Amino acid sequence: KVSHREGMAHYKGSVGDGNRAAKLAREREAQKVKFQELQQSIRDENKHGLKSMDKMFKTHSTAVEDRFKASTVGLVSAKDFKKKRELAESAIENEKRIRERAMAKIRKRRKKDRKRALASLSFAAEDDDEVEDEPKSFAPLKKKKSKKCPDVDTSFLPDKEREEEDIRLRNELAREWKSKQEDMKKELIEVTYSYWDGTGHRRNITVTKGLTIVKFLEKCRRELQEEFHELRGVSSENLMYIKEDVIIPHTYTFYDLIVSKARGKSGPLFHFDVHDDVRLLQDSRIEKDESHAGKIITRAYYERNKHIFPVNRWEVYDPNKKYEKYTIK
């Protein structure tokens, strides 16, 4: 080990630099001495504190034993002796637990004090491993157990993980349902309609379930205009679609009417279910299995004839309105 003077003898530099180096070396030596004194002080204090704590609790435990012996002098029944012995043992056990808690607090406080003291020294990090570990003979404090009763239903209480899982599941089901509905809208259906200009001209057309009524009317107009020239100058907005004596708004789709099982005044608007055959039961109150063909008319025709039967029976479709039972043969 090179001494301070030998180190300075080999130092090559200016006088000012040498003085500063010598000053720093002296300060470090002083800090090292102070650190060693602090270490010894901590060791002595720990030993003294632990001994005094042990002595205090040993004295108290001895006092508990003395009280037990004094209370059992003379003739004592076995029951009383057992009871007093249990009380004495319980008192000693309580003192032991209190002692362990007190020692744990002392260790924790002194550990903090030691870290604060070491942090004030520039070379504390280098020598921190040299500090002796404190006695570990005392068991750490046990973690408090939950006071919740396991038999009580706590599903109504807020649970972040459960709520996140519910949200994830709902979103997944919503995406799955939406995907199925989109697939259903792409399915093809054959619609029978009749262009009505005073007499019926029945046609069939294949469309998707997701098609709106206004687009359906435009497709029908393109097919009909080759035969009925008056439709060439009429836009689809000026055409009307009447089914089961109700006027279907242009914004509805066939899908909307199918999934809601929409009904008109004289039966279901679009019916794919099996119904009782009116011809077998001979009951005109039961709706027929076949659906009536929807009528396509111009708005001008409706305005001219809205006071005449059957046009005067027609009304705009209202999904919230409950129409009466089917009564037309």
Which pLDDT tens digit goes with each residue over 119-134? 665 544 444 444 444 4
Residue type, 88: A
Q: Which fold has domain 182-316?
A: Ubiquitin-like (UB roll) (3.10.20)
* pLDDT category of residue 282 using cuts at 50, 70 and 90: very low
pTM recorded for the entire structure: 0.45
Q: Which tens digits make up the pLDDT trace of 250-267?
A: 999 999 888 888 888 777
> How many beta carbons lie within 10 A of that of residue 57, not counting itself?
18
What is the mean pLDDT of the segment spanning 206-231? 91
pLDDT tens digit sequence for 3-32 = 555 555 555 556 667 788 888 888 888 888
283 pLDDT higher than 70: no
Sheet holding 315-316, edge to edge: 200-208, 188-196, 294-298, 239-243, 246-247, 315-316
Q: What is the dihedral of CA 194, 196, 199, 200, to 10 degrees?
A: 0
